[in-house]
Amino acid sequence: MLLPSPWSLFKGSLVALLAAPAYAITLDISSEESIKSAASISAKAMMSYYKGNLPGHIPGAFASKWWEGGALFLATLQYWHFTGDTTYNEETRIGMQWQAGDDNFYPSNYSAYLGNDDQMFWGLAGMTAAELKFADDSTGYSWLSLAQGVFNAQIDRWDTTACDGGMRWQIHSWESGYTLKNSISNGGLFQLAARLARYTGDSLYTEWANKIWNWSANSPLLNNSTWNVADSTEMENDCATQGDTQWSYNYGTYMMGAAYMYNYTNGSSTWLKAVDGLLNKTFDHFIVNGVLKEVTCEPSEECNDNEILFKGLVSSWLSFTALLVPSTYDRILTKLQNSAKAAALSCTGHSNNTCGVRWYLSKYDGWMGMEEEIAATNIFVANMIAFSNSAPVTSTTGGNSTSNTNAGKTNETSDYVMSTITSGDKAGAAILAVVLTVGAMASMGWLVMGSD
Ligand SMILES: *[C@@H]1O[C@H](CO)[C@@H](O)[C@H](O)[C@H]1NC(C)=O
Ligand SMILES: *[C@@H]1O[C@H](CO)[C@@H](O)[C@H](O)[C@H]1NC(C)=O
Ligand SMILES: *[C@@H]1O[C@H](CO)[C@@H](O)[C@H](O)[C@H]1NC(C)=O
Ligand SMILES: *[C@@H]1O[C@H](CO)[C@@H](O)[C@H](O)[C@H]1NC(C)=O
Ligand SMILES: *[C@@H]1O[C@H](CO)[C@@H](O)[C@H](O)[C@H]1NC(C)=O
Ligand SMILES: *[C@@H]1O[C@H](CO)[C@@H](O)[C@H](O)[C@H]1NC(C)=O
């Protein structure tokens, strides 16, 4: 994404000055219809960037940023569930099935440069479809099996070569970041395991949720007394140090998983303490003057596409947490309401309700993209919890997505061919790494790495 030119910024503010009222998303936070209408405007803008339904395009594919398809379909699923508008359901179903790979969201077109976090986000989309009762596709993979397939593929990659366990950030040795263990990969799989545990009641998922949580809390990633969540830790010194860049989604994913564990355990005080600790820290760090703000990159306007999405993901996770941990509901709703009001004021761009990045400015800031529209849709939809108490279901409370505990179990040996190189081969490997970096640069991992 390029910075807007001074002229377009000037033009933008001129338009905003002269005509803002006509193009604002007017949001009355106390009105269900008003929130639905705001969400429908940003959802339409968000889908205007999606070409997968057009002739000559591939459903669900974002070649240079594959993981964002997962973020997009998370948004369309939640939009449909909380507003009842089915406009994007077909595109969602087709896109998710097309990218399903071998029932594990690991399609061969992209798998050579994916990180664990990329695959994990699609797994969360599958899980969300199951929990929100998006009907299974009669001829495709069930939504639950896709979440199970991602879980199965990922626990096979649990890495004990350093740090006594944990998920690496990257799947392949040729990717930059292969020697890092990071919070979004570990906290993401923790969240997926917790949600699978609650949906299925299968103790395998509970064991893994506990295992990943405990490993994280014993690593520099998650501090369970201060509730600091670091971004990454380095395997080359056995995870002795941390890269402590602060990102909202690292907090959000551990909080979301803890909320599911709290709900699943019928109210365990240990999990409540974790939810409260992470929630308080999320508020302290990322809510400034009442409004969500990605503090590490927004003030300097250096957020990349991934980072623009983070507070949108966190908006959704806060809304689910409020439903699953009722004692947090009031505190969370206030923050969601203030953030949505500010976000709506940012959606006054280009005479067509284009939303900007920095909600806290309460005006359009000149930025534009699918990521901005996804994040805005997420914060509007998150506010629907005030009107519909439709919490995620389980297999015993109305969920009927078909289980397949063996989903996605495939032989990944060929992926690890690079790990057998000897030191004499390193020159060759370096050349290969350069070649593959062209692909890796497009992955989420590379982009996040660049801003660490
Ligand atoms: C809004 O206008 C801008 C500038 O003309 C354009 O690039 C963008 O695609 C438009 N957005 C929508 C959703 O039509
Ligand atoms: C993989 O690439 C081929 C060739 O472009 C395309 O036909 C197919 O739809 C792609 N599959 C996925 C999952 O994107
Ligand atoms: C499962 O639930 C969905 C959503 O409620 C419904 O549309 C579908 O028909 C159900 N499937 C079966 C096999 O009962
Ligand atoms: C939670 O409560 C329900 C209903 O009383 C019970 O069936 C279930 O076994 C409990 N779950 C746990 C994990 O204790
Ligand atoms: C979180 O904040 C709430 C409300 O301010 C407070 O009551 C609670 O003690 C805090 N909990 C933790 C674990 O920090
Ligand atoms: C779990 O979530 C449901 C759905 O929102 C809620 O009704 C229930 O009270 C929650 N359980 C606990 C222990 O808070």
Residue nearest (by alpha carbon) to ligand 3 atom 3: 135
Cα→Cα distances 139→88, 96, 108, 374, 421, Å: 19, 13, 21, 29, 42
pLDDT tens per residue, range 146-174: 999 999 999 999 999 999 999 999 999 99
* Amino acid at site 230: A
% of the chain beyond a pLDDT of 70: 86
pLDDT tens per residue, range 277-286: 999 999 999 9
Q: Which residue has the higher pLDDT, 248 or 451?
A: 248
Q: Is 326 in the pocket of ligand 6 (CB under 6 A)?
A: yes
* Amino acid at site 425: D
Closest CA to 190 of 226, 171, 162, 165: 165
Query: How many angstroms does the Cα of residue 98 sit away from the middle of ligand 2?
Result: 9
Question: 3-state DSSP call for residue 393?
Answer: coil
Residue nearest (by alpha carbon) to ligand 4 atom 4: 266
pLDDT tens per residue, range 300-321: 999 999 999 999 999 999 999 9
Query: What is the predicted pLDDT for the residue at 431?
Result: 37
Query: What is the predicted pLDDT for the residue at 445?
Result: 47
pLDDT tens per residue, range 192-233: 999 999 999 999 999 999 999 999 999 999 999 999 999 999
Query: What is the predicted pLDDT for the residue at 426?
Result: 39
Q: Would you place residue 388 in the very low, low, confident or very high pLDDT band (cuts 50, 70, 90)?
A: confident
% of the chain beyond a pLDDT of 90: 83
Q: Which two tokens stand for residue 176?
A: 């930059």
Query: What is the predicted pLDDT for the residue at 411?
Result: 57
Q: Would you place residue 448 in the very low, low, confident or very high pLDDT band (cuts 50, 70, 90)?
A: very low
Q: Are 248 and 229 a contacting pair, CB within 8 Å?
A: no
Query: What is the predicted pLDDT for the residue at 22?
Result: 53
Closest CA to 175 of 426, 409, 445: 445
Q: Is 280 in the pocket of ligand 5 (CB under 6 A)?
A: yes
Look up residue 399 and give its DSSP letter. Answer: -
Q: Are 160 and 222 a contacting pair, CB within 8 Å?
A: no
pLDDT tens per residue, range 402-415: 999 999 987 554 44
Q: Is 98 in the pocket of ligand 2 (CB under 6 A)?
A: yes
257: enclosing H helix or E strand: helix 248-264
Query: What is the predicted pLDDT for the residue at 25?
Result: 85
Residue nearest (by alpha carbon) to ligand 3 atom 5: 133
pLDDT tens per residue, range 328-354: 999 999 999 999 999 999 999 999 999
| Model confidence at 435: pLDDT above 70 | no
Residue nearest (by alpha carbon) to ligand 4 atom 13: 265
* Amino acid at site 114: L
Ligand nearest to the CA of 354: 1
Q: Which two tokens stand for residue 209?
A: 């949720």
Per-chain mean pLDDT for the chain: 89
Q: Is 9 exposed, middle or buried (0-12, 13-18, 19+ CB in 10 A)?
A: middle
CA 72 – CA 125 distance, rounded (Å): 9
